Each structure stands twice: as C-alpha cells, then as structure tokens.
C-alpha cells in the first residue's frame, strides 16, 4: 500500500510539474537530457539502490522464463529510446524486465533531417522520424560486450538507412550487423530484427513474403545462437501479416513483436489537427493501440505454439498491458506511455498486473497469456 502511495505521488509530481515544463521544450533536447541523467544515475550505486527499493519488481507471479531467459517482469523498454545503450544500468531499477537497445545498423547514421521527434498531447502519441540515428554495429557491440546486464537486453538490428543500398545489398548489410553482434557474445541478450521501420529511405522492402524469405534464409546461415524476435508492421492486412508469419515460422525466428509505428494519419486515435502539424514521420502511442492488439490476437490464434508474442503499442497502464497479455502476448514493450505518465509507470504496471492475476485466480502470468481469446 505504501509503495502504491509513493508511486502515486511520483505520478502527480511528474504529470503536474515535470511534464508541464518538459513538454514546452524541444522533444529531442528533453530526450537527450533525460538519457544523460539516466546514464548518470545508473552509475551512482547508492541512488540506484534507493530507486530499486521503491520501483523494482518483487512479485514472483509476474516473472517468467521464456526461451531459457529470465524475465522478472513482462514489461520491457521498446526499441528507439536507447540507441546507444546508455540506460541499461538504470532500467532494471525502474522495474523493467527487459530492455531493447537500438535499432542499430551495420553502418552508422546521423538521423533523418529534423524534425526527428514531436509530441501530440491530445492524441497521446509521439511523431517519430529518426530513421535509425545510431553509431553503428561495431561501436555499440564493442560497448555491449564489456557490460553486464541485470535484465535481458534486446539488440534491435535493422538495415542501414542509405538510399543507395538495394534489396540484395540490404540483406548482406543486415546479416553483417548480426555477425558483428554474434562475435561480440553480449551477455544476457537476445535479438530483435526490425523489418518494419517506416522512416527509412530507399526502395527496399521485406513485406513481400519472397523477400522476407530470402533475408531469413541468408540469416539462418549465420547460425545465430540467441533467440531472434521479428519486429512486425501494424499497417499491413491480416492476410499479408499471416503470409509473413508463415514465412518466419520456417526460419530461425523465435518470436514476433506487434508492432511498430502507425503510418495511417487517419487513424481514429489521432487528433487530425495535431497530426497535420507534422509533415514527416509516423506515430506511436494510442495510434498504435488498436491494430497492435488485433495483430497480437491474430498471431496467437494462428501461431501460438510457434512464436513467443510480444505486444507493443499504446500501453499507458496496467490494464492496457493486461489486455495485451490476455490477447496472447507473453511480454509487453512500451515507450510512449512512460513519457506521458512518468517513469514510475513501470512499477505501477508491475503492481497492477500482480493484483489482477491474483483477482482472476492465475498463479503466474503465463496462465493469463491468451486467456481472453476464445
């Protein structure tokens, strides 16, 4: 009860003081500053311990072992918040059960022309146009191989954002990034293969089953040891999504993530006026909620015995996370909810999930996965 009250106070402070100020400052400036503070706190042992005492998960009923990896909480930081692995030492103290780094590409990229990030407060969404701003696979793998992680780190890999790379070169490019990370032997990690970023240049796609097949066939030859989760688009039809999952099921893909950003500017969750302010980019948060849920359920109905399903998109509360789990997600990822509600949200979701499981008579979260699919 005391923890819940402290978290509630934190939420009030965040929403009514910190956010009021931060939301008036350029979104990228705030993101860079927060990352700097988070990195610093992660290095200061005492502060980290104080945070952990209040925020990190203590309930066993929400921890799971999946593909041999221990997840103390089903809630993970989604790809795109920590491109340079600067926050991996602080996210466990916030209660996260896993943490995606990247998306990282074979070659570095300075980011798309600005604006790269914007806020849509009425729509509870962010405009994203980073296009994989990152320092490249070699630099990040060198950093990751020297580090230890309390929670599993998902290394998100995508194709280098370069319009001059064609389809075949992009396959080689992605595979080369995987080889770099495999040789780095990063501890406590798995991979996310991101085929669904809508902010990249060039005429390359992995949304045609044959093209995805070729990418995954080439990747199979690397004999990657750790599990690979495929990050899927949420903007394709059920029919095409099933065709892509069918292809993935024939390769060394252990899980699927639903999913990436919303490209449809007419999504009912988007306030049209707000969305119109941005000439570029695609949308996170509530604009991804509905379709992500539909696709989690579609994947669960058709591939539950084949894939671990990760739900991602528009999670702002414990109830939201629980809905995704009951639709078939074993794990849940988020970014936007944390920015709108505050960093205490993860601990609040952990507590809320634990309570809901008890109320519904589930001994462990794994029993609730897909419980809403009849």
Q: Pick from 56, 105, 106, 156: which binds ligand FMN (CB under 6 A)?
A: 156
DSSP string for 169-226 = HHHHHHHHHHHHHHHHT-SSEEEEEE---TT--SS--S-SHHHHHHHHHHHHTT---S
In a 13 Å sphere around the CA of 332, the CA atoms on its Cβ side amount to 34
From 145-153, 219-227, 311-319, 345-353, give the range in contact with ligand FMN by CB under 6 A: 311-319
By beta carbon distance, the residue nearest ligand FMN is 80
Question: How far apart, in whole angstroms, are the C-alpha atoms of residue 229 and residue 222?
Answer: 16
Closest approach, Cβ 50 to ligand FMN, in A, equals 27
- Of the listed pieces 85-93, 174-182, 306-314, 347-355, which binds ligand FMN according to CB under 6 A? 306-314
> Taking CB under 6 A as the rule, does residue 313 contact ligand FMN?
yes
Residues 121-150 close enough to bind ligand FMN by CB under 6 A: 126, 128, 130, 132
Tell me the two tokens of residue 229.
């989760």
**Could you give the CA distance from residue 130 to residue 111 in angstroms, rounded to a whole number?**
5
Shortest CB 84 distance to ligand FMN, Å = 12
> Rule CB under 6 A: is residue 117 a binding residue for ligand FMN?
yes
Measured distance CA(334)–CA(346) in Å, rounded: 9
Cis status of the peptide bond prior to 297, with omega within 30 of 0: no
Binding mask 7-36 toward ligand FMN (x if CB under 6 A, else -) reads: ------------------------------
User: How many CB atoms lie under 10 A from the CB of residue 358?
Assistant: 12
Say whether residue 224 binds ligand FMN (CB under 6 A). no
- Residue whose CB is less far from ligand FMN, 89 or 336: 336
Give the 3-state secondary structure of residue 162.
coil
The residue count for the chain: 374
**Residue 260 binds ligand FMN (CB under 6 A):** yes
Q: Is 105 in the site for ligand FMN (CB under 6 A)?
A: no
Only segment of 135-143, 266-274, 280-288, 295-303 that touches ligand FMN (CB under 6 A): 280-288
Q: Is 79 in the site for ligand FMN (CB under 6 A)?
A: yes
Torsion of CA 158, 163, 167, 169, to 10 degrees: -80
Q: Which two tokens stand for residue 187?
A: 């501890």
Decide: is 231 part of the binding site for ligand FMN (CB under 6 A): yes
Cβ-proximal residues to 32 (8 Å cutoff; 6+ apart), any chain: none
Radius of gyration for the alpha carbons in the chain, expressed in angstroms and rounded: 19
Residue 284 sits in the site that holds ligand FMN (CB under 6 A): yes
Q: Which of 120, 212, 312, 345 binds ligand FMN (CB under 6 A)?
A: 312
Q: Which is nearer to ligand FMN, 56 or 336 (CB)?
A: 336
Q: Which residues bind ligand FMN (CB under 6 A)?
A: 78-80, 102-103, 117, 126, 128, 130, 132, 156, 194, 197, 231, 260-261, 284-285, 288, 312-315, 334-337
């Amino acid at each position: 009860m005391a923890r819940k009250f402290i978290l509630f106070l934190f939420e009030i402070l965040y929403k009514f003081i910190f956010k009021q100020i931060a939301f008036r400052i350029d979104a990228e400036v705030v993101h860079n500053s927060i990352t700097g503070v988070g990195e610093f706190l992660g290095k200061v042992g005492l502060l980290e311990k104080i945070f952990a005492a209040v925020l990190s998960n203590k309930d066993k009923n929400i921890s799971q072992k999946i593909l041999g990896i221990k997840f103390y909480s089903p809630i993970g930081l989604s790809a795109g918040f920590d491109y340079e692995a600067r926050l991996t030492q602080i996210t466990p103290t916030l209660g996260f059960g896993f943490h995606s780094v990247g998306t990282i590409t074979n070659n570095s990229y300075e980011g798309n022309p600005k604006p790269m990030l914007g806020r849509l407060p009425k729509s509870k969404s962010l405009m994203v146009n980073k296009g994989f701003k990152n320092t490249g696979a070699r630099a990040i793998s060198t950093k990751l191989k020297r580090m230890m992680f309390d929670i599993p780190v998902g290394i998100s890999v995508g194709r280098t954002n370069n319009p001059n790379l064609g389809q075949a070169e992009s396959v080689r490019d992605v595979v080369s990034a995987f080889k770099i990370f495999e040789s780095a032997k990063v501890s406590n990690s798995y991979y996310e293969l991101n085929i669904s970023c809508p902010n990249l240049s060039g005429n390359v796609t992995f949304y045609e089953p044959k093209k995805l097949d070729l990418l995954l066939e080439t990747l199979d030859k690397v004999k990657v040891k750790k599990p690979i989760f495929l990050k899927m688009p949420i903007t394709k039809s059920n029919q095409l999504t099933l065709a892509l999952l069918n292809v993935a099921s024939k390769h060394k893909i252990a899980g699927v993530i639903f999913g990436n950003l919303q490209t449809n500017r007419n999504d009912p969750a988007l306030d049209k006026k707000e969305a119109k302010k941005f000439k570029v980019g695609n949308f996170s948060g509530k604009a991804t909620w509905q379709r992500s849920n539909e696709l989690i359920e579609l994947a669960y109905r058709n591939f539950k015995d084949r894939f671990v399903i990760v739900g991602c998109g528009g999670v702002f509360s414990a109830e939201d996370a629980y809905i995704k789990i009951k639709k078939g997600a074993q794990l849940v990822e988020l970014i936007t909810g944390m920015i709108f509600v505050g960093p205490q949200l993860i601990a609040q979701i952990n507590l809320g999930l634990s309570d809901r499981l008890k109320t519904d008579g589930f001994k462990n979260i794994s029993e609730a996965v897909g419980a809403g699919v009849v």
